[in-house]
Amino acid sequence: TGYITFDPGFKNTGVTKSSITYLDGEEGILRYRGYSIEELADKASFLEVAYLLIHEELPTQAQLDAFSADIQSYTQVNQDLLKISEGFPVSSHPMCTIAALVGAMSAFYSTDEAGDDEKSVLRLLAQLPVMATWSYKKSIGEGIIQPDTTVDYCSTFLQMMFAKPGEKYTADAVVSKALNKLLILHADHEQNCSTSTVRLVGSSHANLFASISAGINALWGPLHGGANQEVIEMLEAIKADGGDTDKYIAMAKDKNSGFRLMGFGHRVYKNFDPRAKIIKKAADDVLKALGVNDPVLAIAARLEAAALSDEYFVARKLYPNVDFYSGIIYRALGIPTNMFTVMFAIGRLPGWIAQWKEMRVNKEPIGRPRQIYTGATSRAFVEIAQR
Ligand code: CMC
């Protein structure tokens, strides 16, 4: 095997130099371009953070206004993409639909090979939330709602989700603010599975839409973004089973059970996930403000307390991650469970774009990992009649 380093899962391989996100897993620090996640989540708007990630600096008011207006000017999705969306079965998981639609965007819109196609960037930011609402509307048998370009990014999304056709709709400020915070918390997370996928696909000079579509598929898996849906389903299952959290903790510790405590553990954070801290507080605030009493919240709190004091979880440094409480908020906001991971994708989009651009601008080489071969050594071919 010579000089090849064996590192399955890239646990200890730095594959790129990046100036986008700083993450210290021991101290629980997360910063976008040097700004703390706590401050950004508290004070910024999602589009401000998107601008920061993609354009490297926080925007001035004039720059932000121009960026928002540019995005709004691209919200009209090609009607043939809508037809494609309508061809998906009602039962299709919305992650499958949006990955396909984003991939299909390159059939409709020109793409630039240079890595700085501003129009593709604006189209994606404008159209992913629009397309994300289509399958929901279809699933509840309602017509789609056109985006209202007079309101902010989060409120437009909420309006497309929840307005009834022909009805005037104003997004609840608490809901809009909570969504803004959640999207910011998900906006980038350095070289995670989906982001590395976006960079790897883009490293062959595949276009931005193709690369982001691959990222959406990578995010879908239950060990990555798909965990937020799995967490709520797990909490519901525990509730339906009488709320016996100890039984599920025991199952998670049993390697033969095939069960993992969803929303726990992280490849990089080994003391706490700073996003989880912010989300837990936001969940409390949002549920209170909306007057929602979600019985799974108590189950979540019991699981967390039990896991944090249990030797198995302590020894392996398994803490609640960003996905443990996010589903509880999404549900309180009225987002259906099968769309939780779609919300993650909408939040992560600026990060994927920034990472893809950085990779192209820095002229990174094509990604091509090596392997340790473990198969048969040289064998003589046997004619089919002799096998
Ligand atoms: N429940 C029970 N045991 C676990 C869990 C869990 N959730 N997570 C890890 N372990 C155990 C694992 O069995 C292993 O034990 P041992 O050392 O005895 O073999 C040890 O902890 C280390 O786990 P690992 O699988 O080697 O760690 P990893 O870095 O490869 O995986 C992870 C990280 C996030 C995939 C994993 O912790 C997991 O599957 N968590 C549940 C799914 C989840 O919540 N994913 C969302 C991650 S945060 C959002 C995002 O960025 O995607």
Q: CATH number of the domain that 44 lies in?
A: 1.10.580.10
Q: Which atom of ligand 1 is nearest to the CA of 194?
A: 52
**pLDDT (tens digit, 9 = 90+) per residue, 123-162?**
999 999 999 999 999 999 999 999 998 999 999 999 999 9
Residue 269 Ramachandran class (φ > 0 left, ψ -120 to 50 alpha, else beta): beta
Query: What pLDDT sits at residue 166?
Result: 84
Determine how many CB atoms are found less than 10 A away from the CB of residue 6: 8
Query: What pLDDT sits at residue 112?
Result: 66
Positive or negative torsion for Cα 219, 49, 268, 196: positive
For position 280, which CATH number holds? 1.10.230.10
Query: What pLDDT sits at residue 3?
Result: 84
Are residues 113 and 200 located together in one domain of the fold? yes
pTM above 0.90, yes or no: yes
pLDDT band at residue 116, thresholds of 50, 70 and 90?
low
Give the Cα separation of 28 and 351 in Å (integer): 19
Is 350 among the domain residues? yes
At residue 113, does pLDDT exceed 70? no
With the CA atoms of 312, 229, 28 and 33 taken in that order, what torsion angle do they form, in degrees rounded to the nearest 10? 160
The two tokens of residue 236 are 């519901």
- Number of separate domains in the chain: 2
Positive or negative torsion for Cα 282, 285, 291, 293: positive
Are residues 312 and 345 located together in one domain of the fold? no
Is 5 among the domain residues? no
Query: Rounded to the nearest whole angstrom, what is the distance from the C-alpha of residue 76 to the centroid of ligand 1?
Result: 40
Are residues 259 and 284 located together in one domain of the fold? yes
Query: Rounded to the nearest whole angstrom, what is the distance from the C-alpha of residue 300 to the centroid of ligand 1?
Result: 18
Are residues 113 and 246 located together in one domain of the fold? no
Is 356 among the domain residues? yes
Cβ 311 vs Cβ 139: under 8 Å: no
Are residues 77 and 210 located together in one domain of the fold? yes
Mean pLDDT of 80-89: 96
Are residues 252 and 166 located together in one domain of the fold? no
Range of the domain at 281: 227-332
**pLDDT (tens digit, 9 = 90+) per residue, 219-278?**
999 999 999 999 999 999 999 999 999 999 999 999 999 999 999 999 999 889 999 999
For ligand 1, pick from 233, 259, 260 the residue to mutate: most ligand atoms within 8 Å of CB: 260
Q: 35-36 and 21-24: which strand pairing?
A: unpaired
> With pLDDT > 90 as the criterion, what percentage of the chain qualifies?
91
Are residues 67 and 183 located together in one domain of the fold? yes
- CA angle (362, 366, 370) in 5-degree steps: 130
Are residues 89 and 191 located together in one domain of the fold? yes
Residues with CB under 6 A from ligand 1: 9, 189, 192, 223-225, 227, 252, 260-267, 316, 318, 321-323
Q: What is the mean pLDDT of the chain?
A: 94
For ligand 1, pick from 267, 277, 278, 348 the residue to mutate: most ligand atoms within 8 Å of CB: 267
